[in-house]
Amino acid sequence: MRLNMASKFVNFGSKLFKSSKNLLSSAYAKRSSSSGSARKWIGARQKLLTFGALTGATGLLMYAMDASVDASSDNVHPAKQLWPHKGLLTAIDKESVRRGYQVYKEVCSSCHSLQYIAYRNLVGVCMTESEAKAEAEGITVHDGPDEDGNYFDRPGKLSDYMPMPYPNEEAGRAANNGAYPPDLSYIVSARKGGEDYIFALLTGYCDPPAGFALRDGLYFNPYFSGGAIAMGQLISNESVTYADADVAPSASQIAKDVTTFLCWTSEPDYDIRKLLVIKVFIISSFLIALTYYIKRLKWSSLKTRKIFYLPEIQENAKKAAEGAKNSK
Residue 152, strand partner residues: 143
Does 263 show up as a binding residue in the annotation? no
Distance CA 35, CA 31 (A): 9
Tell me whether residue 111 is annotated as binding: yes
* SS3 call for 193: coil
Query: β-strand 219-220 against 228-229: which pairing, if any?
Result: antiparallel
DSSP assigned state of 111: T
* 65 marked as part of a ligand binding site: no
Q: What are phi and psi for residue 118, nearest 5 degrees?
A: -95, 160
Question: Would you say the C-alpha torsion 73, 75, 79, 85 has a positive or negative sign?
Answer: negative
Q: Is 231 annotated as a binding residue?
A: yes
SS3 (DSSP) at 8:
helix
| Residues 198-233 as b or e (16 or more Cβ within 10 Å = b) | bbbbbbbbeeeeeeeeeeeebbbbbbbeebbbbbee
Residues 261/103, Cβ–Cβ less than 8 Å: yes
Query: Which conformational region is residue 29 in: left (phi greater than 0), alpha (psi within -120 to 50 degrees), or beta?
Result: alpha
Per the annotation, binding residues are 108, 111-112, 231
Per the annotation, binding residues for heme c are 108, 111-112, 231
